[in-house]
């Protein structure tokens, strides 16, 4: 038979942290200023806001709160087996246009990040380029929901995405 446990026990239903000293609150991170969203952005200024997009070959064509468009050319380094443009490249293109569109719909002083991205791949891209356009479906105080559509050079829909962006204050 083992010796009885001499430690005091919390009352039934009490939190496992009962009896512990409260943790020191972490200091809030210093707010990082974000440039105020403009009614429209110069597409040439977007790579400074989202440098990853430029790294993967995305070139923005237009940007306003109602719609953001960008283009990504097919390239062998963006492909998977048999020269098919990789789904990750198409996802990145959709995420990039939707993220900038969400940014343009933010309240002053807020920032945004992707919370959810769902992409439907509809046909392969074997050459040319893909143009994507994103539009807001819902602009709320805590989330912005967008849709993005990607078309090949022939105007065929190659991917369709829905995306939720969280509004960070």
Give the pLDDT confidence of 68-115 residue by residue, as tens digits. Answer: 999 999 999 999 999 999 999 999 999 999 999 999 999 999 999 999
Distance CA 145, CA 133 (A): 14
Nearest to residue 53, comparing CAs of 40, 65, 64, 68? 68
Q: What is the pTM of this model?
A: 0.78
The single residue listed with the structure tokens 């994507």 is 132
The CATH number of domain 43-168 is 3.30.950.10: no
Confidence of residue 40 (pLDDT cuts 50, 70, 90): confident
Kindly state the DSSP code that residue 121 receives in the 8-state scheme: E
């Amino acid at each position: 038979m083992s010796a009885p446990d001499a430690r005091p026990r919390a009352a039934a239903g009490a939190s496992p942290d009962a009896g512990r000293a409260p943790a020191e609150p972490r200091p809030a991170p210093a707010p990082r200023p974000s440039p105020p969203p403009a009614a429209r952005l110069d597409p040439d200024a977007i790579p400074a806001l989202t440098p990853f997009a430029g790294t993967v070959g995305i070139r923005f064509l237009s940007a306003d709160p109602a719609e953001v468009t960008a283009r990504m050319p097919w390239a062998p380094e963006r492909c998977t087996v048999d020269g098919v443009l990789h789904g990750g490249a198409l996802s990145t293109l959709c995420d990039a246009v939707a993220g900038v569109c969400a940014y343009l719909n933010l309240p002053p002083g807020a920032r945004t990040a992707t919370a959810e991205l769902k992409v439907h791949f509809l046909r392969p891209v074997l050459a040319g380029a893909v143009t994507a356009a994103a539009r807001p479906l819902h602009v709320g105080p805590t989330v912005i929901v967008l849709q993005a559509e990607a078309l090949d050079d022939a105007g065929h829909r190659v991917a369709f995405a829905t995306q939720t962006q969280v509004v960070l204050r």
